[in-house]
Chains A and B, each alone.
Chain A
């Protein structure tokens, strides 16, 4: 009976409109499920990376210099209590102060006697170095000081200073081989010591020396070991985290703003959020179009449905006949959507893998659940709409 009823209702209908409505629904559902899949696979992996520290970043903090600091009413330096407070924050994995020189350091080069540079010199816990290079050790009595300098200094020198001052450009290897000397000046004493650049840091913008050397030199040529520090370095789990930003604002601490603004996690989260929103919007529009196509069909078959009711057909039997076409089409589209998604996930996994972003293969089980839920939701919605349309015709 249902076959005959469907034959009567669907005969002469615009199948092309249905194909397009079905295609739209397929795309909408696939897009939505893809966003669920990506949210789970990519973002959860990212969250896991953040928790495990794989996405962590190193940030250097200092206090914002305001009028209170200028006028001496507030210290521009971090004390031990403030360091402890920083270490207690959940978004900070590890924190350490920079110990700075309290004496004058001047660098000279044998062949360029007119080149004399006043150097800042700092020491930081070895945990915060990019890598610990060979020769990174100093003991009292050692004559030569190992130094790690920021790669940015070399870049700046070669790109800006050397051409403008007509100085030669240096390669990293040359700098590591070249004999350099520094002059330690303070406490009425002066001493020349050779230094050797043993490594370069992309992470820390400074001239780093081993802590043992700096402690010794501060005692010999400066004001002794410091208990306050002008800046600290911290390893943070997620540089883009709102908690970190809020903490820094409340405490009036400064760091490189760019590091806080743009992070892979933040950007990806925003992207996935946008994708989920667009997916939901697209899906909702596609569902409405699909339902409207069905309602239009019912409306076009108005005379046939009217006559069927006159012959003695009940509303439930007509709903079954219309839904009997609709539900298999819906299920078919859902199945096709899942197949498309499986193929798409495989393709994206391969492409992302080529870009170095390895995501767990396969479709997440939650996506299947989401597909079932969305299908059930649309089916209930359509049964309700079909019933209402038929009821309005029957009355």
Chain B
């Protein structure tokens, strides 16, 4: 799935950030299968970029196309289809249903395009050390545990691009390594591309391009 940003500029990006950016107001093509690290300090618009790519932010100048299709021409159902099997995302703010269990959160995503079953989910959760916490309401979990639920949710759907917005901010190095292994397995299984937005670390993902935002 080829992504093209053509002079995209959301209204909330300060001019000082735009001047040094390789993304905002520039032409950028992200090829299928690539692994991209987006470097930027906090507040420079990493989450805005993820939201633009995922179709949550649609107010910007310029144009954004997916597989040469202008996203301005896309409706709710087109975006729903892209989110079901084109993009998978781990939001920085996680966006989980707080009162639902971890398993319910994951299944809500997995049931849209069933490529994993409940046992697969349990197995992946066990690898992330979440087996015994999978059926607890999310609001009772720690931030790191919630982050792992959000990662598991992103792994349980088909995708061409995996968008990760500071996905390991609450994980220790051991858990980051386990999560990275799981993520890379899924990315490689699907021949997908990966975009990691962070503070300059690629967490061992061996990214092949780095963009300063």
**A contacts, CB < 8 Å to B:** 1, 4-5, 7-8, 11-12, 304, 307-315, 394
A7-B100, A8-B104, A307-B97 known; A312 vs B111 contact (CB < 8 Å):
no
Residues of chain A contacted by B97 (CB below 8 angstroms): 8, 304, 307
Inside 8 A of B107's CB, which chain A residues have their CB?
Answer: 4
CB-based contact A311/B100 at 8 Å: no
Separation of A2 and B138 alpha carbons in the complex (Å): 20
- For the complex of A and B, the 7 pairs showing the least CB-CB separation, nearest first, are A312-B83, A312-B84, A314-B80, A1-B111, A312-B80, A312-B112, A311-B109
Whether A314 pairs with B104 at a CB distance below 8 angstroms is no
CB distance from B159 to the nearest CB of A (A): 11
Contacts of A311 in B (CB 8 A): 83, 108-109, 112
B95 within 8 A of partner (CB): yes
- 26 pairs, CB–CB < 8 Å, chain A vs chain B: A1-B112, A4-B104, A4-B111, A5-B108, A8-B97, A8-B104, A8-B108, A11-B99, A12-B99, A307-B95, A307-B97, A308-B108, A309-B76, A309-B80, A310-B54, A310-B56, A310-B83, A310-B95, A311-B83, A311-B108, A311-B109, A311-B112, A312-B81, A312-B84, A312-B112, A315-B76
Question: Which residue of chain B has its CB nearest to the CB of A313?
Answer: B80
Residues of the B chain whose Cβ atoms lie less than 8 Å from the Cβ of A7 = 100, 104
| Chain A residues, Cβ within 8 Å of B81 | 312
B104 contacts which chain A residues (CB < 8 A)?
A: 4, 7-8
Per the bound structure, the CA–CA distance linking A313 and B60 in Å amounts to: 24
CA distance A296 to B83 in the complex (A): 28
A313 to B95, CA, bound (A): 15
How far is B99's CA from A307's CA once the two chains are assembled, in angstroms? 13
Q: At the interface, yes or no: B77 with Cβ under 8 Å from chain A?
A: yes
State the CA gap A56–B112 with chains docked (Å): 72
Task: From known contacts A8-B97, A11-B100, A12-B99, infer whether A394 and B76 are also in contact, taking CB-CB under 8 Å.
Answer: yes
A222, B12: Cα distance in complex, Å: 116
Looking at B54, B76, B80, B109, which has the most chain A CB atoms within 10 Å of its CB? B80
For B97, the closest partner residue in chain A by CB is A8
Say which residue of A5, A304, A307, A315 sits within 8 Å of B77 (CB atoms).
Answer: A315
How far is the CB of A272 from the nearest CB of chain B, in Å? Answer: 49
Which residues of chain B (20-79) have a CB below 8 Å from chain A? 54, 56, 76-77
Q: Please name all residues of chain B whose beta carbon is closer than 8 Å to the beta carbon of A4 when the two chains form the complex.
A: 104, 107-108, 111
- Compute how far the CA of A8 lies from the CA of B157 in the bound complex, rounded to whole angstroms: 20
Complex Cα spacing A7 to B105, Å: 11
Specify which chain B residues have a CB less than 8 angstroms from the CB of A12 in the assembled complex. 99
A308 to B84, CA, bound (A): 11
Q: Is the CB of A313 within 8 A of B99?
A: no
**For B108, what are the chain A residues with a Cβ–Cβ distance below 8 Å?**
4-5, 8, 308, 311
Distance to closest chain A CB from B57 (angstroms): 12
A4 vs B112: C-alpha distance in the bound complex, in angstroms?
12
- Alpha-carbon distance between A318 and B71 when the two chains are bound, in angstroms: 23
Interface string of B162-173 (1 = CB under 8 A from A): 000000000000
CA distance A108 to B175 in the complex (A): 127
Closest to B113 in A: A312
Q: Which residue of B lies closest to A304 (CB)?
A: B97
Closest chain A residue to B82 by CB distance? A312
Bound together, the chains give a CA A313 to CA B113 distance in angstroms of 11
**A304 contact set on B, CB distance < 8 A:** 97
- A158 to B157: give the CA distance in the assembly, Å: 101
Q: Which residue of A lies closest to B114 (CB)?
A: A1
Complex contact B76–A314 (CB within 8 A): yes
Residues on A with C-beta less than 8 A from B95 are 307, 310
User: In the complex the two chains form, what is the Cα distance from A63 to B13 in whole Å?
Assistant: 97
* B212 shortest CB reach to chain A, Å: 28
Cα A312 to Cα B81 in complex, Å, equals: 7
Enumerate B98-141 residues with CB–CB distance to A below 8 Å: 99-100, 104, 107-109, 111-112
B104 to chain A, nearest CB (A): 6
> Is B77 within 8 A of A314, CB to CB?
yes
- Assess whether B76 is in contact with A312, with CB atoms less than 8 Å apart: no
A12–B137 alpha-carbon span in the complex (Å): 14
Whole-angstrom CA separation of A313 from B77 in the bound complex: 8
| Interchain nearest-CB distance for A303 vs B (Å) | 9
Would you call A8 and B111 a contact (CB within 8 A)?
A: no
Across the interface, which residues of A come within 8 angstroms of B109, CB to CB?
Answer: 311-312
B85's nearest neighbour on chain A, judged by CB, is A312
B162 to A: closest C-beta gap in Å: 14
Residues of the A chain whose Cβ atoms lie less than 8 Å from the Cβ of B111: 1, 4
Residues of A within 8 A of B54 (CB): 310
Bound: A11/B108 CA distance, A:
15
Smallest CB gap from B109: residue in A: A311
**Which of A310, A312, A314, A315 has the most chain B CB within a 10 Å cutoff?**
A312
Task: Give the CA-CA distance A312 to B84 in the complex, in Å.
Answer: 5
* A285 CB to nearest B CB, Å: 34
CA distance A251 to B154 in the complex (A): 90
Query: What B residues does A314 contact at CB under 8 A?
Result: 76-77, 80
Q: How far is the CB of B163 from chain A (nearest CB, A)?
A: 12
Closest to A391 in B: B76
| A8 CB contacts on chain B under 8 angstroms | 97, 100, 104, 108
Contacts of B56 in A (CB 8 A): 310
